[in-house]
Amino acid sequence: MSLQIQHKETKSVIAEGNPAENTAIVFEGNWYFDPAKVDMSALKVTERTYTCPYKGVCFWIDLDTPELQARNIGWVYNNPKPGFDMIKDRIGFYARDTSGTLAVRSVEIPA
């Protein structure tokens, strides 16, 4: 299974990974990608934060392209609380369409 986050207007790939390869993980219904699998050229990690009572503080990520600007399309936990190391430094996205992104799940069919 491949997980992909696409730009809502251009359909260009922002992030792509596979849970079987540990390049993406599904956690609490959201998708967390290995940073090497995320094109950060149109993304900006902001100073805005959200504090989860059990995961800790994350920084919001905005999309900024000529076609579309959207706030809070992703997030990153640089120093999560103990027990949440699996999401440390991974780029999190909603596993649903947002104002700036499309969430695409594809199943690979063996030949």
Q: For residue range 19-76, what is the model confidence (pLDDT) as tens digits?
A: 999 999 999 999 999 999 999 999 999 999 999 999 999 999 999 999 999 999 999 9
What is residue 111's predicted lDDT score, i.e. its pLDDT? 64
pLDDT tens per residue across span 77-96: 999 999 999 999 999 999 99
Evaluate if pTM is beyond 0.75.
Answer: yes
- pLDDT more than 90, % of the chain: 95
- Provide long-range contacts, Cβ within 8 A and 24+ apart, for 82-89: 84/54, 84/55, 84/56, 86/25, 86/27, 86/32, 87/25, 87/27, 87/32, 87/55, 89/35
